[in-house]
């Protein structure tokens, strides 16, 4: 039942309402110093905005013992004074010496550099360097570490954090008390398991850093991908936590987003290049971990909180929410930490879909309140209709060009690797945690693995991603490149965006069931190098892609803990496998540019293998039953637009990995991404 929760005006004090990155474009005065390389340009430019200090190289010593992760305050020999020739006793009695690091500028320093695995876990490393100051000063820096951190300047402690955490360079913002002449900096980084890093850099206005990175990306593309797609940061003001949970576009074209911490912001100036006049306006606050946002036809916002679907309205046009309306709260919430909720997303029939995460309640079960592990549809009156179960952690939800609804699920128990699946009434998607709700839904109880609906896409773990997130349909009609009507899928761990092509087929699956109109297809690498884990995606009116990032939860690659970025197609078409289509005896590969007939017709230009995954209770699955497949022959299509590969020993229920490393276009260039992964749940019966 729909319920008007509250109606308010002027909810927020003025100091909360607006954070401005810049009032006017002319506010940012970056003295850009173009040099021969990206690193030299960054260094020369930063020197123009900071006191000129002479920084010596970093020296590293380690590993020292941290067994039990309780030795943050144990004094090891490096703390007694620097001696470049010293031979010290390290972890396990091994000899430790200081070693000079290659120049790292202000980038992260990775510390998992020791040859033995055990030396990179439950350990401690020290870093030391000198800096010469022209006068007494307080030099402001920010720094962070994975895990604990101590920093001494001339023997004085300036940072002391006995923590086990992920890397965030903004964790500590301190002044280094430098004297005229030579100063010493000693850093101690404790390590539990996993990542082990340290970073320190001058603290300057983020607007200047954002402008600098924009110009560096323009002048020094960091990868071949960046020739085709540029990533532009939309830097939030300092102090704003931008852990993005949802993104959509308002009717006037402005992006609007919600954060995990319960805030909703509108961004102005997002499409300017460089984005110097960004303005973040606080639209609403106080929501309960919203992990999805949809702009309705009337301009109101629909958000899924942990326990309800809520509509937010701005009644007087001042960019502040005045009305909060509960559309439905008819799913359960036990208080378990893992009971996330995602959506809403609208299908081709205008229906609102929500997906609900399982809880992890120990012996009580994983779905102790209604509809956890399910997808539901919310009606206009707020009533809910359960659609399908077997979901585990469905962090992505989205439609294809036909208006059919899909979700992504994350690797874990009963999910061998991340996947993308089509949702239909009565489906069972593999996880039995929510099976107790099938009778309540009036549906037949799943009978185990034989009831499992195979996914449309398996994302091979590590090769393609590790935490699949949002799904976004390319509706740009070519403004975002040659992938119209395909899907883009984020990955939160690897800080990447992947690409998906889907087709409908009919045939028999691995369990011997006939499938008609079954979705399956291929996934491809697309773009890497985002600032943090990619969690939400939305195409803007200009054809660019707005990307919401966070490393919250699973951790992620990237240089920041959160943020918003914008991807713009440069107009240069990448040479890619545009799609892969299954045939009864092989595959058809179509390309974004004509191929060279000589390399395209050579079977040695291609490698094909197949593998599958266990469907079991263990967390994830390795690739199993891996088999290399031989290619019978290759047929090149007229004009070089595609090829047909006839392949031996195809098998339903397997991912078929296709690599075309030897292929070239008519200019002799290789594919930007030569790999494709086709999930062959069904071998089609028709050509």
pLDDT tens for each residue of 107-126: 789 999 998 889 999 999 99
3-state SS, residue 596: coil
pLDDT tens-place string over residues 171-205:
999 999 999 999 999 999 999 988 899 999 888 77
The band of 24, judged by pLDDT with boundaries at 50, 70 and 90, is very low
Average pLDDT value for residue range 538-552: 94
pLDDT tens-place string over residues 318-350:
999 999 999 999 998 888 888 999 999 999 999
The band of 431, judged by pLDDT with boundaries at 50, 70 and 90, is very high
E-strand ranges in 47-98 read: 54-55, 59-65, 88-89, 95-96
CA gap 237, 13 in Å, rounded: 18
Q: What pLDDT is attached to residue 23? A: 29
CA gap 294, 248 in Å, rounded: 6
- Tell me if 291 sits within 8 A of 245, measured CB to CB: yes
The band of 393, judged by pLDDT with boundaries at 50, 70 and 90, is very high
How many C-alpha atoms does 383 have within 13 Å on its Cβ side?
A: 2
Q: What pLDDT is attached to residue 338? A: 86
The band of 221, judged by pLDDT with boundaries at 50, 70 and 90, is confident
Please choose, from the candidates 385, 378, 391, 465, the residue with its C-alpha nearest in 3D space to the C-alpha of residue 423: 391
Sheet holding 279-284, edge to edge: 18-20, 279-284, 264-268, 255-259, 244-249
Using a pLDDT cut of 70, give the percent of the chain over it: 95
| Token code pair at residue 143 | 């720094």
CA gap 574, 425 in Å, rounded: 39
Name beta bridge partners: 663: none
Q: Which residue has the tokens 């007694």?
A: 80
Residue 27: DSSP 8-state: G
pLDDT at 51 over 90: no
Average pLDDT value for residue range 635-639: 95
Sheet holding 172-178, edge to edge: 109-110, 197-202, 137-146, 172-178
- Tell me if 408 sits within 8 A of 610, measured CB to CB: no
DSSP letters spanning 177-219: EEPSEEEEEEEEEEE-SS--EEEEEE---HHHHHHHHHHHHHH
Average pLDDT value for residue range 37-58: 84
Q: What pLDDT is attached to residue 406? A: 98
CA gap 565, 244 in Å, rounded: 11
Q: What pLDDT is attached to residue 465? A: 87
The band of 19, judged by pLDDT with boundaries at 50, 70 and 90, is very low
Average pLDDT value for residue range 210-232: 87
The band of 241, judged by pLDDT with boundaries at 50, 70 and 90, is confident
Least confident of 486-500, 519-533, 554-568, 645-659: 554-568
Average pLDDT value for residue range 287-301: 95
Q: What is the chain's mean pLDDT, rounded?
A: 90
- Tell me if 354 sits within 8 A of 341, measured CB to CB: yes
Q: What pLDDT is attached to residue 263? A: 96
Q: What pLDDT is attached to residue 363? A: 64
Q: What pLDDT is attached to residue 239? A: 79
Q: What Å distances lie between residue 650 and 512, 582, 626, 655, CA to CA?
A: 15, 10, 12, 10
Average pLDDT value for residue range 154-165: 95
- Phi first, then psi: what are they for 103, rounded to 5°? -55, 125
pLDDT tens-place string over residues 372-387:
999 999 999 999 999 9
Residue 155: burial class (beta carbons within 10 Å; 0-12, 13-18, 19+) = exposed
Which alpha helices (H) appear in 24-125, and where do they start and end?
Answer: 38-47
Average pLDDT value for residue range 414-431: 95
Using a pLDDT cut of 90, give the percent of the chain over it: 73
Q: What pLDDT is attached to residue 687? A: 72
Residue environment code for 215-228, b if the CB has 16+ CB neighbours within 10 A, otherwise e: bbbeebeeeebbeb
pLDDT at 364 over 80: no
Residue with the bigger pLDDT between 241 and 597: it is 597
The band of 2, judged by pLDDT with boundaries at 50, 70 and 90, is low
pLDDT at 7 over 50: no
pLDDT at 18 over 80: no
Least confident of 70-79, 552-561, 595-604: 552-561
pLDDT at 471 over 60: yes
**What is the reported pTM?**
0.81
Least confident of 95-104, 154-163, 185-194: 95-104
End-to-end CA distance of the chain: 49
Q: Which residue has the tokens 């600098």?
A: 212
Q: Which domains does the chain have, with CATH numbers?
A: 50-203 (2.60.120), 577-684 (2.60.40.1220)
Q: What pLDDT is attached to residue 553? A: 65
Please state the three-class secondary structure of 9-47 as a single string. CCCCCHHHHEEECCCCHHHCCCCCCCCCCHHHHHHHHHH
Contacts of 142 (CB under 8 A, 6+ apart): 169, 170, 171, 172, 173, 174, 200, 201, 203
What is the pairing mode between strands 487-491 and 675-680? unpaired
Q: What pLDDT is attached to residue 554? A: 65
pLDDT at 22 over 90: no
Please state the three-class secondary structure of 417-481 as a single string. CCEEEECCCCCECCCHHHHHHCCCCCCCCCCCHHHECCCCEECCECCCECCEEEEEECCCCCCCC
| Token code pair at residue 555 | 């951790």
Chain centroid to Cα 370, Å, comes to 29
Q: What pLDDT is attached to residue 368? A: 84
């Amino acid at each position: 039942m729909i319920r008007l929760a509250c109606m308010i005006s002027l909810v927020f004090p003025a100091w909360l309402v607006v954070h401005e990155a810049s009032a006017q474009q002319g506010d940012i005065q970056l003295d850009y110093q173009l040099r021969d390389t990206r690193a030299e340009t960054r260094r020369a430019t930063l020197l123009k905005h900071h006191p000129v200090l002479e920084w010596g190289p970093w020296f590293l010593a380690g590993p020292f013992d941290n067994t039990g992760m309780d030795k943050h305050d144990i004094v090891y020999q490096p703390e007694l004074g620097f001696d470049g020739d010293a031979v010290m006793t390290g972890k396990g009695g091994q000899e430790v010496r200081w070693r000079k690091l290659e120049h790292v500028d202000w980038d992260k320093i990775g510390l998992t550099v020791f040859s033995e695995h055990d030396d990179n876990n439950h350990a401690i490393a020290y870093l030391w360097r000198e800096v010469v100051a022209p006068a007494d000063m307080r030099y402001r820096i920010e720094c962070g570490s994975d895990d604990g951190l101590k920093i001494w300047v001339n023997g004085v402690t300036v940072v002391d954090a006995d923590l086990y955490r992920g890397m965030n360079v903004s964790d500590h913002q301190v002044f280094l008390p430098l004297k005229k002449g030579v100063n010493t900096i000693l850093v101690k980084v404790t390590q539990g398991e996993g990542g082990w890093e340290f970073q320190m850099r001058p603290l300057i206005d983020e607007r200047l850093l954002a402008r600098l990175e924009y110009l560096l990306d323009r002048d020094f593309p960091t990868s071949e991908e960046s020739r085709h797609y540029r990533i532009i940061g939309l830097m939030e003001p300092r102090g704003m936590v931008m852990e993005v949970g949802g993104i959509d576009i308002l009717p006037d074209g402005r992006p609007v987003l919600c954060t995990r911490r319960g805030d909703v912001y509108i961004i102005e100036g997002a499409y300017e290049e460089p984005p110097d006049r960004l303005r973040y306006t606080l639209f609403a606050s106080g929501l309960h971990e919203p992990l999805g946002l949809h702009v309705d036809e009337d301009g109101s916002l629909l958000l899924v909180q942990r326990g309800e679907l809520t509509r937010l309205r701005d009644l007087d046009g001042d960019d502040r929410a005045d009305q909060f309306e509960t559309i439905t709260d008819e799913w359960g919430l036990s208080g378990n930490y893992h009971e996330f909720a995602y959506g809403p997303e609208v299908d081709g029939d205008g229906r609102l879909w929500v997906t609900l995460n399982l809880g992890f309640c120990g012996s009580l079960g994983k779905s102790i309140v209604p509809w956890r592990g399910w997808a539901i549809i919310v009606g206009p009156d707020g009533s809910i209709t359960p659609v399908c179960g077997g979901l585990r952690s469905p962090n992505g939800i989205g439609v294809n060009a036909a208006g059919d609804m899909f979700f992504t699920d994350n690797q874990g128990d009963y999910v061998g690797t991340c996947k993308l699946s089509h949702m239909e009434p009565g489906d069972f998607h593999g996880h039995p945690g929510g099976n107790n709700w099938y009778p309540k839904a009036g549906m037949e109880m799943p009978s185990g693995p034989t009831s499992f609906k195979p996914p449309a896409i398996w994302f091979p773990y590590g090769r393609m991603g590790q935490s699949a997130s949002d799904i976004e349909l390319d509706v740009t009609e070519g403004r975002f490149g040659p992938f119209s009507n395909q899907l883009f899928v984020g990955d939160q761990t690897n800080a990447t965006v992947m690409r998906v092509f889907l087709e409908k087929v009919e045939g028999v699956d691995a369990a011997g069931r006939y499938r008609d109109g079954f979705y399956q297809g291929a996934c491809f690498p697309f773009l890497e190098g985002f600032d943090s884990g990619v969690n939400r995606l939305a195409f803007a009116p200009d054809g660019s892609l707005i990307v919401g990032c966070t490393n919250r939860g699973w951790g992620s690659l990237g240089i920041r803990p959160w943020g918003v970025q914008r991807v713009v197609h440069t107009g240069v078409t990448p040479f890619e496998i545009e799609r892969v289509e299954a045939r009864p005896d092989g595959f058809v590969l179509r390309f974004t540019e004509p191929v060279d007939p000589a390399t395209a017709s050579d079977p040695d230009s291609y490698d094909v293998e197949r593998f599958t995954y266990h469907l079991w209770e263990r967390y994830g699955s390795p690739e199993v039953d891996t088999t290399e497949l031989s290619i019978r022959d290759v047929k090149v299509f007229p004009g070089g637009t595609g090829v047909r590969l006839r392949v031996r020993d195809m098998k339903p229920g397997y991912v078929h990995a296709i690599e075309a490393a030897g292929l070239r276009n008519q200019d002799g260039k290789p594919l930007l991404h030569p790999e494709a992964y086709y999930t062959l749940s069904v071998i089609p019966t028709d050509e």
